[in-house]
Copies of this chain bind each other. A is one copy, B any other.
Amino acid sequence: MSVTAAKGFTAAGIAAGIKENGGADLALVVNNGPNRAAAGVFTANRVKAAPVLWSQQVLKGGRVSAVVLNSGGANACTGAPGFQDTHATAEKAAEVLGDGHSAGEIAVASTGLIGERLPMEAVLSGVGTAAGALSAHGGEKAAIAIKTTDTVHKTAVVESPAGWTVGGMAKGAGMLAPSLATMLVVLTTDADLASPALDEALRSATRTTFERIDSDGCLSTNDTVLLLGSGASGVVPDAAEFAEAVRAVCDDLGRQIVRDAEGASKDIRVEVVGAASEADAEEVGRSIARNNLLKCAVHGEDPNWGRVLSAIGTTSAAFEPDQLNVSINGVQVCRGGAVGEDRDKVDMRFREVRITADLSAGTESAVIWTNDLTADYVHENSAYSS
């Protein structure tokens, strides 16, 4: 499972002493080849954490031999000393991994509180400990070590009948652009593909998966999604089948992240149909998904479709107000911009809530996943850094 499901990878997850509670907090994933192809997608936030700046540089070379990930600290907004800390982490990993590894090919990812330096003594000795614990069965432990406010660890695997595998792990409680705790994802594959092909599959997959989950509208400084290719299966995959496998793993992990979102009690699937363009559909879906009032209403199991229309009205998408239709869990409560079926028919007792907004302006569509806004979210995020 996880990042060691595909051949050619070893991983470890250990407690390095970065977290004050003594929990697992450092993961190492190593690509043993024969290939060391890699692709990466990073946060769009212009304030980027040191490990994001570092890893973006590493990815430019198109080769990644290992990834060091830590929870317990984001190493964001830490200036030049924070960047030096990331660099030292990669150097240490190269040193302990030995032959065939150099710091310039080692990616680093961090998650936790912004604005504090990492305890580097713990990090560096942890890298050594993790290297000693590397195993072809270590994927699960690595997935556990990157958790912050996650209540469960998240892994997914797709195995192709053609003989190759895509597996991965994720942590996060929000979107690709999530919340306090960032989304970190490492995917691995033993399919035999060069970096440009991995990059194409990864970008195409994230565009309709991680980029369409939106827990709280807050874009992290640390989001990182990496795809490493070992080529160890010796199989060159069919491009379409491989792209679909990467998409499926991303979709699965993304859904797990939404399901585990901080304080959430409902998963909300916002589908926008009848849009003039996919961009319109996505803009409208995101506006609905980010509406705090609607998210509170869903928490209260209240089919308050007026808040859906109000959210649609703030977008620049093509639509006429009197041609909007909204269904909640299959009941068309708003028809032609006004009252439709009886709202009392809507059953919202279950965790998944489906909202469909029909713009009556075309044939394009998009799905955004989000969650409800709860008092638990407020409690969890009021007390995080103190």
Q: Which residues of A contact B (CB under 8 A)?
A: 44-48, 74, 76-79, 81-82, 113-117, 179-180, 216-221, 290-293, 296-297, 299-302, 304-307, 309-315, 319, 321-322, 324, 334, 336-339, 373-375, 377-386
Contact = CB atoms under 8 A, between A and B. Distances in A.
B221 A310 contact: yes
B310 A219 contact: yes
B116 A339 contact: yes
A339 B115 contact: yes
6 contacts: A44-B314, A45-B314, A76-B310, A77-B338, A114-B304, A115-B309
A310 B49 CA distance: 10
A337 B305 CA distance: 42
Contacts of A319: 46
A309 B386 contact: no
B114 A321 contact: no
Query: Closest 9 A-B residue pairs measured CB to CB?
Result: A114-B306, A300-B382, A47-B313, A79-B338, A296-B381, A375-B375, A45-B313, A115-B306, A46-B313
Contact of A297 (B44, B116, B219, B385): B385
A82 B290 CA distance: 28
A324 B180 CA distance: 20
Given A79-B336, A216-B293, A338-B82, A385 B302 contact: yes
A306 B381 CA distance: 13
A302 B76 contact: no
A120 to B, nearest CB: 15
Specify the main secondary structure of chain A where it touches its partner: loop
Contacts of A221: 306, 309-310, 313
B375 A74 contact: no
A307 B76 CA distance: 11
A17 B306 CA distance: 23
A117 to B, nearest CB: 8
Contacts of A291: 217-218
Given A47-B321, A375-B378, A379-B375, A338 B78 contact: yes
Nearest to A333: B115
B383 A293 contact: no
Residue of A44, A113, A297, A310 with most partner-chain B CB within 10 A: A310
A219 B300 contact: no
B378 A309 contact: no
A302 B79 contact: no
Contacts of A290: 217
Contacts of A48: 313, 321
Given A292-B292, A293-B180, A296-B377, A305 B383 contact: no
Nearest to A319: B46
A381 B79 contact: no
Residue of A46, A48, A114, A374 with most partner-chain B CB within 10 A: A46
Given A77-B339, A302-B386, A217 B292 contact: yes
A46 to B, nearest CB: 4
Residue of A179, A309, A311 with most partner-chain B CB within 10 A: A309
A382 B300 CA distance: 4
A79 B337 contact: yes
A384 to B, nearest CB: 7
Given A77-B337, A115-B334, A218-B292, A310 B378 contact: no
Residue of A77, A81, A300, A380 with most partner-chain B CB within 10 A: A77
